[in-house]
Structure 1
Amino acid sequence: MPEFNLRADTIMYNIVIRLFCEKGDMVMAHKLMKEMGLIDLYPDMITNVSMINGFCNVGSMQMTLELSGEMEKEVGDCSSNVVTYSSVIQSFCRKGRVMEGLAVLDRIQAYGCAPNRVTVSTLIKGLCLDGIEEAYELIDKVVAGGSVLHGDCYNSLVIALVRIKRLKEADKLFRKMLASGMKPNGLACSVMIKELCLEG
């Protein structure tokens, strides 16, 4: 748009990059991201999340990890990194690669950032498919770190157990929460009530 003395800004690049990522054209999306640096614009969290989701959707997990490594060097904000890494973890878990998702969690913590509820909930869902013991180990680990509460983790675990039809375990955990004074959230209550009504 030189005739109007206008140039694209980060927002415009983010929109176009996201569209290419959704289309699966990661070559063009990556080219646009690199082009930003040539005109003194810098990828932000939105750019990174779009790119990471795009690479994950086309199955390029190596590029996902490389991009997140580059992001670590450029972005000093822990909350931004946790959001981006949560996208990476979610993508690994969707592809059944939960152990690699756990390795990304270790990377977040090594970087000095604490996981949030979304990060932990994503991993709990993935771990429940393999074994509930690993989910409890994860909960103990993140609760000990102080970034996520037992109640948040147990709510996610109840929901995950109901969704994979391990109803007795979900019911036992739900009752344990009530007995210990933890308040189940609205979603955990609604999925339990729905399952109890279907059984009755």
Structure 2
Amino acid sequence: MPPCASPLLLRRRLSTRPPHREHPKLAALLDVLNPPPPSSTPLPHALSSAFPSPSDAFPLRTLPRLLPRLPSPLLSLRFLLWRLTASTPQPSPHALSSLATSLPDLSSSVPLLLSSSPQPLPLQHYALLLNLSTHAGLFPASLAVLRHMRSFGLVPDAACFHHALRAAGSAADVSAVLEIMSGSGASPTVPVIVTAVHKLASAGNFESARRLIDKMPEFGCVPNAVVYTAMLDGMYNFGNLDGAVRLIEEMEGSGLGANCAPNVVTYTCLVKCLFGKGRVAEALGVLDRMAGRGVMPNRVFVQTLLEGVCMEQRVADTYNVVERVVGDRGMSSEQCYNVLLICLWRVGMTAEAEGLAQRMMKKGVQLSPLAGSSMVRELCVRKRSLDAYHWLGMMEENGVLCDSNVYGTLLLGLCEEGHLHEASALGRKVVEREIHIEASCAERLVELLKQYGDEELASHLLGLKQRPGGLSF
């Protein structure tokens, strides 16, 4: 990672240009973060005095752009903790991921923040630091947070341990978290055990994973199919297919109890394992295995099975799977054919996919928005925007509404490939429907349309440009 600019140099760099329009209070914020020495006012108090309403002054969607512009990684982190107060709703996983990515040098700033805190932090701040460390994949930072809490006699709740385990990268990491949990007197919950078992199995430590499952009754937890499926998936990740097959056979027996009978998720993992080792015939046989136990396939299972068969270019088998699933009433024919269409596109079987789409439309089998959007998107990737344009028109005539982001992708493809008449027609449709377009795509579209002399359409499309948070200007 490149060295951080000094606070003075960065401040000078920022002061030579007007604040970004998304951060109109940047200059005032820099004055608070860089007070003239000596300053005895704690930073949170200084920030609250300058900005009584944090959420209004600094909307959440603006933070990923703002945080890297602050004077130091530590100040960026301290500012974020102040901004996300106890009354602030917990950010979504997507927002947390964006914040974790935008925080500079998080691996160093978290330990530095903790070492410079002689008093315990608010519990919600510990939870946020663990969440950010998890999204950044920084287990050492997660471990530092747990140890800081323990040093003040604070007992992390199950969610804190769960976050830390999600960041674990080895069996030793898992053991370190479980040791802190045991020392604090906290008992693991089922989600904590499931995550720990999956991590241990993925690292090849199957015996420790199994011992942890066996100890679940001591923690007041009942072993179930979820935890054994987690172990099975971990075995697959490690490459132990034979062990995974033996485990599912054990689950199918009566020795583990009724709660541990394999479910559709378990069989989906098994299919994934078998295809991963090229054992196609056994993967196809899982349908019979499920039917014998009364387990019905769902969309994810069917997609996993069809995608594996498509990867092997076994087209006839894909239709056999569809007929079998429909015949067993696991899914409707419309659902199955839409899943198959998406799979064919994903593995690059273009001719078969287009043929299937034509047959579906001819027989009145409705394309789903997801399948239709996948089709348009894949044709654009293959530089066949004109074909995508005609398909989109036919789908709209049949009442299929594609995802809004498809329109920007297709419009850009038509412009880049020189299909100006079609681009103009689609552009007018986008403007009439007020379909918002992703920012980078909109900017490139505006540039191309201006080159072609269509200033009016370019101006209208600019007004539909999305901000990072999904809102238009």
Q: Give the Cα separation in 2 of the matches to 1:96 and 1:37.
A: 38
**CA shift for structure 1 position 69:** 2.5
Query: 2:341–2:357: 8 Å Cα contact kept in structure 1?
Result: yes
1:64 corresponding residue in structure 2: 244
1:189 corresponding residue in structure 2: 372
Map 1:14-163 → 2, pairs under 5 A:
14-36=194-216, 41-72=221-252, 73=254, 74-75=257-258, 81-130=263-312, 131-163=314-346
CA RMSD, aligned part only? 2.6
Deviation per CA, 1:123-174, whole angstroms, max 9, x where unpaired? Answer: 1111113310011111111110011111222112212222222211101101
Q: Give the Cα separation in 1 of the matches to 2:355 and 2:224.
A: 44
Moved more, 131-140 or 13-22: 13-22
Residue identity matched to 1:101: A
Moved more, 15-24 or 100-109: 15-24
- CA gap 1:2/1:25 in 2 versus in 1, 3 angstroms: closer
182, 193, 207: which one aligns with 1:13: 193
Identity of aligned residues (%): 31
Residue identity matched to 2:333: H
Q: Give the Cα separation in 1 of the matches to 2:237 and 2:184.
A: 37
1:171 corresponding residue in structure 2: 354
**CA shift for structure 1 position 29:** 1.1
2:137 corresponding residue in structure 1: none
Give the helix-richer structure, 1 or 2.
1
Moved more, 52-61 or 136-145: 52-61
SS of residue in 2 equivalent to 1:182: coil
Deviation per CA, 1:160-193, whole angstroms, max 9, x where unpaired? Answer: 2222222111011011111222221222112211
- CA gap 1:77/1:175 in 2 versus in 1, 3 angstroms: farther
Residue identity matched to 1:177: M
Moved more, 37-46 or 184-193: 37-46
- Structure 2 gaps, min length 5: 1-180, 387-473
**CA shift for structure 1 position 30:** 1.9
**CA shift for structure 1 position 111:** 0.9
Deviation per CA, 1:55-108, whole angstroms, max 9, x where unpaired? Answer: 111222222122223323323698x61121112112222333222212222111
Q: Give the Cα separation in 2 of the matches to 1:126 and 1:165.
A: 13
**CA shift for structure 1 position 47:** 0.7
Query: 2:197–2:209: 8 Å Cα contact kept in structure 1?
Result: yes
The alignment's TM-score, normalised by the length of structure 2, stands at: 0.39
SS of residue in 1 equivalent to 2:285: helix
Q: Give the Cα separation in 2 of the matches to 1:3 and 1:30.
A: 21
Deviation per CA, 1:12-61, whole angstroms, max 9, x where unpaired? Answer: 42232233234332232122123335666432233122101011112222
Larger Rg: 2
Query: 2:223–2:259: 8 Å Cα contact kept in structure 1?
Result: no
The alignment's TM-score, normalised by the length of structure 1, stands at: 0.85
Higher relative contact order (CA 8 A, sep 6+): 1
Q: Give the Cα separation in 2 of the matches to 1:23 and 1:190.
A: 38
Q: Give the Cα separation in 2 of the matches to 1:24 and 1:89.
A: 20
- CA gap 1:127/1:12 in 2 versus in 1, 3 angstroms: closer
Residue identity matched to 2:341: V
SS of residue in 2 equivalent to 1:148: coil
Query: 1:93–1:122: 8 Å Cα contact kept in structure 2?
Result: no
- CA gap 1:102/1:185 in 2 versus in 1, 3 angstroms: same
- Structure 1 gaps, min length 5: none
Deviation per CA, 1:1-20, whole angstroms, max 9, x where unpaired? Answer: 78887544434422322332
